[in-house]
Every structure is written in structure tokens, then in C-alpha cells.
Amino acid sequence: MMSRPIILGIVGDSAAGKTTLTRGIAQALGPENVTIICTDDYHRYDRQQRAEIGITALHPDCNHLDIMQQHLSLLRTGQPILKPVYSHKTGTFEAPKYIKPSKFVIIEGLLGYSTRAARDSYDVKVYLAPPEELRARWKVKRDTQKRGYTPEQVLAELEKREPDSAQFIRPQRQWSDIVISFYPPTDEDDETNGHLNVRLVLRPTIPHPDFTVITNSSYGNSDSAIRLGLDRDMCKPVDVLEVDGHATLEQVNKLEHIICSDMPHLRNICDRESNPELGKIAGTTGETLQSYPLALTQLIITYHMLKATQIYQ
Amino acid sequence: MMSRPIILGIVGDSAAGKTTLTRGIAQALGPENVTIICTDDYHRYDRQQRAEIGITALHPDCNHLDIMQQHLSLLRTGQPILKPVYSHKTGTFEAPKYIKPSKFVIIEGLLGYSTRAARDSYDVKVYLAPPEELRARWKVKRDTQKRGYTPEQVLAELEKREPDSAQFIRPQRQWSDIVISFYPPTDEDDETNGHLNVRLVLRPTIPHPDFTVITNSSYGNSDSAIRLGLDRDMCKPVDVLEVDGHATLEQVNKLEHIICSDMPHLRNICDRESNPELGKIAGTTGETLQSYPLALTQLIITYHMLKATQIYQ
């Protein structure tokens, strides 16, 4: 069989945590094996043009979706692309970049699942859906620190973008194999990122590890920090795996064991000593925190990426 | 049969007259039907980087030839591309441009025939080969007037580029269907562009109009202003059609009649009243001149472009 890159999609609204998750997965797979592409580079208009036209970057018409899709198809067959480069710092386009796909390709962006042909190009499709209040907080933090906006500007922008978010971004949730929602625990004062819980919607569109053992064990009951249950998501039946931020290392290790059992290579990745980065995030004051929910999320996605190499290569 | 764009290549060294010829053909085919692409846009390095590395724009390593070839293949099947944009004015890259191919596509540049897959993408391949003294004069004129160089800089650049011209540009002549050489008459003082002669090497690789009637008529003898003869070009047998700048309208009309005889649509293009632009060039002092050799050259290429639509569409 022909060897081709394995392609992961990470789609979600602005500041939903795409870049953080992308970096974590790339770290787990080995950065030298991963090509990261942000679909913001496929904007049709620069910042000034968008303001003049009165269009948001979330609107399909504001993006060269056909070219994004063409580049996805080329990457999927192992061909290089000359990728446009949009600078969030200046809001303008820079010299394009020559990209030869590595073993793994991560495509992260706003509209990655908006056309059928684009959707068909991914091996694994992730959608990030934090609660809107949390996303607003993340966006204010990032855009004031890294993109030179004031908090008021960011909140106004969020409001302006809401109709497009509802019409074009959020419906893409239906096409994902995994929906990821980090959320703050309701009954605690402590809401640092390190203690966020995660809710993973696992659609039966890709072969997930068999988590049903959780439902039969004591640590899978509703009081446990790790829970599995049936639910519906956008009207379709799904498994929902929840991991709380206060889960213990012992509980987490059990879940990791399930994920790694049919994937020996993954055991090295789980190993906290050789991969201290797994689940690491920057806390609110820049300190490094270890998040078990994030580590498990990264591990499940990594599992699917490695699984895809077995299936297709 | 599927409709696809007809692709013309116009390859030649710097200042060989590519842009002038391209504009003339586009005018004849109707600008609204023609997409023009300059392969200089596929430079890998900007002007400053080239100077730092010490590489000329003529070197294959200085260009994304694989991407150029990929874009050619996409255009040939009617697909859009996001084309990089290199500015000769600033020597840097600008925002890429979305291009949907028209009915006809003209690809002009330095290295258009340098790979097999690229060569296979053209319907008609033209190579421009003026005498080197004439090309040097053209280059000095253009680069001092439009690109902000001094004459001394242009001549130094020509000398620096000569090894790459010899190794990478001129060998591409062998892949062309038509080699075009405008040249000044030797026995006249008057050397304005308007009175340049043309020598057309017609390889038997595409179906040329039957010009053999010229050899049997009085106006085809060696004294005539229009001559056809057998020759070898890069060791291979070819027809050579020569048209002098002082050819009369009557002589030119006879040749046009041959070209148009099996292509009724072409008669409208030959018609000087409806197409006053045919063969028009800017003289040395900016005045507009009518060149019969240029008009006939444009007409023969246009003939092949229209012929290709009959064959393939």
C-alpha cells in the first residue's frame, strides 16, 4: 500500500483552544513528524479589506475554501503545496511558504469541515466546543496579549461575529469524530485552566478504544472523576467520556491503560517520564500546570492518529 | 469530451520579448478569454535572499518548479489556483492571487519547459530567441526604464547570468514547437523595431498550416521578403519561415490567406480594420509601429491556439 500522510482536523471557533491542542498532539507524535497548517492562511481578504467590505473571517466567502480543499487533497496524496501566509500580527499576507507534508498533518482552523470534499480529506476530525463564556475569556486574554486589541474591542468583535459563528462555525460540530469541551467545575472556586474538566463526545464514526469497562467498574459511576455514558449529540447517538480536573493519577492511569492496550507504541507516549509535556498547559499567571483531562484528550487523539497509520499504511 | 483550457507556453531569456508577444496573442484571442501567468511568481527567494545566497533567478533551484508544474496541471484540468505574486518593482512577494483559468491560458517565463511534466501541460510551446546583442539592448532599455537599474548594472547582471542562461534557459529551445527570432536586417541603417525581420523555426511537433506553396511561387525565392526553407535546429529537421520587415502588405496578405484558409474564425482576427492591434508595437520613441513580421508571428500562434480548441474540445 502507498504511504500517505495521516491528516487530523482541529476545528472550532476563534480562541476555542485549537492551537494549544494542536501543539500538544504534535508534541506527542514528535514535532519532527508533524506538519501544522492553520487555515486562517486561506483568508481571501486581509484585515483592512474585511473591515471595508464588512465581512468577518468566519464567513465562507471570506476564505478560499476551494483552494484550502485543493491543498488538503494534495497533502493527502503526499504532494507539496505553496501555502499562503496570513499574519495575525499585521493582518496582511506575507510570502507564501513551501510545505512538504510530514508523516502527520494537523489542519487547524475555523472552517475546515465546511465542504464535503474537505471533510473527506481527514483521517480524524476533532471539534472544540468550550462553553461560550470560557471561550470569551480565552479570546480576550489572547487578543489583548498577542494581537494588540483592547478587551472592549475583543468583546465587540465577539458580538459582531456571533451570527457567523452560529451559521457557519458551530454546525461543523456534526461532522467531527470527537467533540471536546473543557469546562470549569461548577462547585468550586478554583477555576484555573489546570483544573478544568473535559467532556469528550465520541461518535461511532471512527474506532474508539473500548471504554465500556468504565461503566462496569466502580470508578465509572456518577460520583467518579471519570465517567462514560450514552447520550445524543446533534440528535445522533454518541458515547460521552467525562474526566474531571480533580481525577487522581491512579484513575487516569487506568484509562490510559485501556487506550494503550492495543497500541504498544502509545505506552511510550503515556510515560510521564519520557513525555513530561503530555497534558502540560500554561496557567493564568504563566506557570506550567499538569492537566489530566488535557493529557487524556491528547492521548485519545494520538491513539487515533497512530491507529490510522496501521489502517492505511 | 470535457472542455479544458488551451495552454500556450512562451519561454525565453530575460527581456527576450515574452511580455510583448504574450500581450499581442491575448489581444488576438480576446483579453477576456485569456489568463496570463508569469512564472517569475514561482521564485523561491526574493531579490534580497538571491543576493545573499548568490543565486540568479534563472537557476532551477531558485524556483518552486514542482509547484509551477502542479499549478499547470491544475489549470489544465480547469481548476483554480492560488498563485504566488512576485513584484519586480519591489523584489518581494505580495499577497497571492486567486486565478480561475479562462478558455486560454498563456504561461510566460524563464523555465517553463525545464521539467517533463511541465512540458506535457502545454498545447503549444513557443521559445523566443533573439540575437544576444538585441536582447541586451532590450534588457537595458526595460530594466533602466521600469525596474530602476542603471545601464551598467544591467550589463553586469547579464554577464553574471550568462552561465545559467547557457545551462538552463537556452537548452529549453529544443522542447518548443516554434522558435521565434526577431533580428535586425544586416544591410540597412534603419534598425527600428518596426523593421525587424523574423525567423520562425517550425518544428513538425504540431500541425502547422501548409506553407509549402511558398516554395513553389515566385514570392518564395531567396530574394523575396517571405521565404520558406528546410533546415536543422538543434540537429533536428525543421521548416524555417522568414518574414522581412520590409515585406509588402500584398505579400503578407498571401501568407495570411494560407494561415486562415482552414480556420474561418481566424479571418476576423487577420482583418486589420477590426483588429488594428495586430502586429502593433511601440517604437523606440514611444510611437506605435506596425510590424508585419510580428503580426504574422502572432497570427500563427493564434492559429495553433484555435486549432487546439478544435482538437481537444
Whether residue B282 has pLDDT greater than 70:
no
* Domain co-membership, B117 together with B238: no
Q: Please provide the size of chain A in residues.
A: 313
CB within 8 Å: B67 and A92: no
The answer to whether residue A3 scores a pLDDT higher than 90 is no
Q: Which of A67, A92, A127 marks a domain boundary?
A: A127
Amino acid code (one letter) for B19: T
Residues A306, A197, single domain; the answer is yes
The answer to whether residues A199 and A272 belong to one domain is yes
Per-residue pLDDT band for B283 (boundaries 50, 70, 90) equals low
pLDDT at A196: 93
The alpha-carbon gap from A246 to the nearest alpha carbon of chain B, in Å, equals 48
The answer to whether residue A308 is domain-embedded is: yes
- Burial (Cβ within 10 Å: 0-12, 13-18, ≥19) of residue A55: middle
Residues A295 and A233 in one domain: yes
| CA–CA separation, B160 and B154 (whole Å) | 10
In the prediction, which pLDDT does B280 show? 74
Claim to verify: residue A181 and residue A291 sit in the same structural domain: yes
pLDDT tens-digit map of A60-104 = 999 999 999 999 999 999 999 999 999 998 999 999 999 999 999
Across the range B160-185, mean pLDDT stands at 97
Per cent of chain B over pLDDT 90 is 73
Cβ-based contacts of B96 with chain A (< 8 Å): 84, 93, 96
Within chain A, residue ranges assigned H as helices are 18-29, 47-53, 65-76, 116-119, 132-146, 151-164, 213-216, 249-260, 264-270, 292-312
Residue B121 belongs to a domain:
yes
More confident residue, A270 or B100: B100
Cβ contact (<8 Å) for B95 and A98?
A: no
Q: What is the pLDDT of residue A193?
A: 46
Please, are residues B124 and B8 in contact by the beta-carbon 8 Å criterion? yes
CA–CA min distance B306, chain A (Å): 30
Cα B169-B172-B173 angle, rounded to 5 deg: 110
How many domains does one find in chain B?
Answer: 2
Q: Rounded to whole angstroms, how far apart are CA atoms A73 and A81? A: 10
In this prediction, residue B19 has a pLDDT band, given cuts at 50, 70 and 90, of very high
Where a domain ends, among B95, B127, B159?
B127
Statement to judge: residues B190 and B297 lie in one domain:
yes
Q: Is the pLDDT reported for residue B313 higher than 60?
A: no
Domain with B89 in it: what CATH number? 3.40.50.300
Predicted confidence (pLDDT) per residue in A98-144, tens digit: 999 999 999 999 999 999 999 999 999 999 999 999 999 999 999 99
Residue with the three cell numbers 475554501: A65
The C-alpha cell at A193 is 485552566
- Whether residue B137 lies inside any domain: the answer is no
Residues A18 and A119 in one domain: yes
The SS3 assignment for B15 reads coil
What dihedral do alpha carbons B92, B95, B99, B104 form, nearest 10°?
-20
Task: Give the domain extent around A234.
Answer: 177-312
Residue A80 and residue B92: Cβ atoms within 8 Å? no
Does any domain span residue A207?
yes
Whether pTM exceeds 0.90: no
Q: Closest to B96 (Cβ–Cβ): which among A70, A84, A98?
A: A84
Residues A192 and A293 in one domain: yes
CA pair distance B13, B11, nearest whole angstrom: 7
Residue A313: is its pLDDT beyond 90? Answer: no
Confidence bin at B294 (pLDDT 50/70/90): very high
In a domain, A280, yes or no: yes
Q: Are residues B122 and B193 in the same domain?
A: no
Q: Could you identify the residue written with the cell 474537505? A: A118
Q: Are residues A191 and A77 in the same domain?
A: no
Q: What is the pLDDT of residues A148-205, one digit of tens each?
A: 889 999 999 999 999 999 999 999 999 999 999 999 998 655 554 458 999 999 999 9
- Pairing of β A92-99 and β A81-87: antiparallel
Query: Are A71 and A3 a contacting pair, CB within 8 Å?
Result: no
Give the model's pLDDT for residue B190.
Answer: 53
Question: Looking at residues B68-93, what average pLDDT do you find?
Answer: 96
Q: How far apart are CA B255 and CA B251, in angstroms?
A: 7
Among A85, A111, A127, which residue terminates a domain? Answer: A127
What is the distance, to the nearest Å, from the Cα of residue B200 to the centroid of all Cα atoms in its chain? Answer: 11
CA distance B55 to chain A (A): 18
Q: What span, in angstroms and rounded, lies between the C-alpha atoms of A210 and A257? A: 11
| Residue B236 and residue B114 share a domain | no
Q: Are residues A182 and A80 in the same domain?
A: no
Distance from the first to the final alpha carbon of chain A? 6
Residue A23, in any domain of the structure: yes
pLDDT band at B188 (very low <50, low <70, confident <90, very high): low
C-alpha angle A226-A232-A233 in degrees, rounded to nearest 5: 90
Residues A237-296 pLDDT 10s:
999 999 999 998 888 888 998 998 878 778 777 776 667 777 777 665 666 778 899 999
Over its C-alpha atoms, chain A yields an Rg (Å, rounded) of 19
Complex confidence, ipTM: 0.81
- The answer to whether position B148 is within a domain reads no
Q: Is residue B91 part of a domain?
A: yes
Q: What is the pLDDT of residue A288?
A: 73
Q: How far is B80 from chain A (nearest CA, A)?
A: 7
pLDDT at position B222 is 65
Considering only the beta carbons, identify the residue of B46, B64, B95 that sits closest to A98: B64
Q: Which residues of B touch A (CB under 8 A)?
A: 42, 44, 46, 64, 66-67, 70, 74, 79-82, 84, 92-96, 98
